[in-house]
Structure 1
């Protein structure tokens, strides 16, 4: 089964469904599984160093011949080197967690890549569209990870009405009914994070996936104590501790984790400090927020890779409370398309009355 929209035509996939680039989750295995199932898988490269990105692109090309994307941080100091890896590797889509510069989009588009930034506000969508973005992913407040305050049902129609490029809706989607609802607003597809995190191919430890299945729609919280930005996560003891810590103890713990991340990533202190200063300039971060931003990858890795809920942060959308299984990506995408078709048939009968 397939479904044709402006997004599927643009990217060359059969299903208007995106597996978002979740740090430490959307690895080549998960991204390729989503692409092989007919959607668009996006490799999360923001937490990778350059060598890891090169290896990820090589692996993607070995295990899928379908279109796929790579997610980038627009403030990465080696951004142009990363763009070259993507261009040389034949990556189809460049996805951006932060608004890309017009210059880097021009470089990627000139090489034939499709540029799809993620946005959380109408003005941001209008800005990147004016810079040449080919489509946008719009995440409402229900979504996991970095998120805004406006729910998808209010944000989506604003942006659909303000830009003339394909819009992909994110935040609260998990089934075919949601896909049809997004299409009814004028979107050209949906993006899902938490739903793909909870699939068979997801690299998250099995026990951690099972733990996610226990949570309800009210078990998430939006906090700025992870990295300085509003971040929707599962409400657990680690999050409570982050919100309880004072300035001094918070800085000490964040600095310790930043040092551990330096060792893990192979980055130099010079590079990490340069990234921190860039964050401070771009977002007017305080020194504490700069250290928090460096600390955040270790908190996410502890949960998503090591399965340590006690010392980790579990990003999650509110939709976690509506998910009760761990299907393969193929079964998930087929199911969403089948459910969407059933809804459309039912609506057609209603219109005939």
Structure 2
């Protein structure tokens, strides 16, 4: 299937494995790339040195195109962008809108720039700044998410911009890819579906926990880090809903100390990063302070496998997933099913 996504990025199939923190590491990204889809390396939870090593590891595992997700509000965003340029990474993706000059620098060195947005007005802004394509995530998606369903968000963005649009939120099979293409999208992005593959480094016991949830197994809450976050409805998350202000403050302080140790940053450095995060988003100061919870709570669940003290980001599609295929098997299955659906529609 040739679409603007495949032509821009050089991948074989119009499928993107999204940049999930603690999940989208070299192993998953390279397996996705070798399967012919676009793997996105998640760098928000990595130091600069760790990102350098991770990119090199992906390049050792595959000679196919791949991308790296960057935090646009990170203090060293420009240096990380230079790292992508140095290593010849194909795609730079962003969860927040990157600055116009950063987009221009990446494009000048041949990288494809793909921000992720949750509203048509944000897509218009990054398109005007020179983004090559944009990914839109509907409210069905896992992690930080909005309230508008993909079936409404996608056409609104397609009507608003002239650049290719990748649809995310609620996709897990070939029927979804065919539907997205019918809307006019250039491809689909999948997170939870790639997390639940044999190539994902998430502990097997945690994967089995995911497979045990139905379509009503997720909840959107602001209790974790102050922003709407779609997570598995585990007892830990249910407990957060009942947590008082004092308990939330104590947990935030504890997680902030953990994050400080993990990142190696000084207190002034953390404070400066908080200011940049506040300026680069619509967060309140309270939400900005709570944001330190996110990486450590996700690490506890997705890396350490402690579902009793960590959170597990998940899209609503978790309830429609029943197996753990390899990335190669998954991509082939999605593409074959989409082609069959499109042939059937064409015959009608």
TM range (shorter): over 0.9
Q: Give the structure 2 partner of residue 266 of structure 1.
A: 264
What pairs with 1:281-320 in structure 2 (closer than 5 Å)?
A: 281-283=279-281, 285-320=283-318
Q: Give the structure 1 partner of residue 20 of structure 2.
A: 22
CA contact (8 A) 2:17 2:191 kept: yes
Q: Give the structure 1 partner of residue 154 of structure 2.
A: 156
Matches of 1:267 and 1:225, distance apart in 2: 25
TM-score (norm. length: structure 1): 0.96
Q: Deviations over 1:161-211 (max 9, x none)?
A: 111111000000011100000000000100000000000110100000011
What pairs with 1:1-353 in structure 2 (closer than 5 Å)?
A: 3-283=1-281, 285-350=283-348
Matches of 1:290 and 1:143, distance apart in 2: 22
Name the SS of the counterpart of 1:57 in structure 2.
helix
CA contact (8 A) 2:180 2:188 kept: yes
CA contact (8 A) 1:198 1:209 kept: yes
How far did 1:281 drift? Answer: 3.2
CA contact (8 A) 1:43 1:71 kept: yes
Matches of 2:245 and 2:128, distance apart in 1: 41
Name the SS of the counterpart of 1:161 in structure 2.
helix
Name the SS of the counterpart of 2:240 in structure 1.
helix
Name the SS of the counterpart of 2:98 in structure 1.
coil
Name the SS of the counterpart of 2:160 in structure 1.
coil
CA contact (8 A) 1:96 1:118 kept: yes
Runs (4+) of structure 1 exceeding 3 A deviation are 281-288
Q: Deviations over 1:279-300 (max 9, x none)?
A: 2334464443223101211100
Query: Which runs of 5 or more structure 1 residues have no equivalent in the other structure?
Result: none
Matches of 1:238 and 1:283, distance apart in 2: 28
Query: Which runs of 5 or more structure 2 residues have no equivalent in the other structure?
Result: none
Q: Deviations over 1:234-279 (max 9, x none)?
A: 1112222222222222111111111012112222222211111222
Q: Which sits farther off after the overlay, 43-52 or 338-347?
A: 338-347
CA contact (8 A) 2:74 2:277 kept: no
Matches of 1:286 and 1:318, distance apart in 2: 27
CA contact (8 A) 1:251 1:288 kept: no
Name the SS of the counterpart of 1:70 in structure 2.
strand
Tell me how many residue pairs correspond in the alignment: 348
Q: Deviations over 1:119-141 (max 9, x none)?
A: 01000001100000000001001
Name the SS of the counterpart of 1:245 in structure 2.
coil
Name the SS of the counterpart of 2:292 in structure 1.
helix
Name the SS of the counterpart of 2:339 in structure 1.
helix
CA contact (8 A) 1:120 1:139 kept: yes
- Cα RMSD (Å): 1.1
Q: Deviations over 1:52-92 (max 9, x none)?
A: 11101111111111110000110000111101111101111
TM-score (norm. length: structure 2): 0.98
Matches of 2:176 and 2:283, distance apart in 1: 36
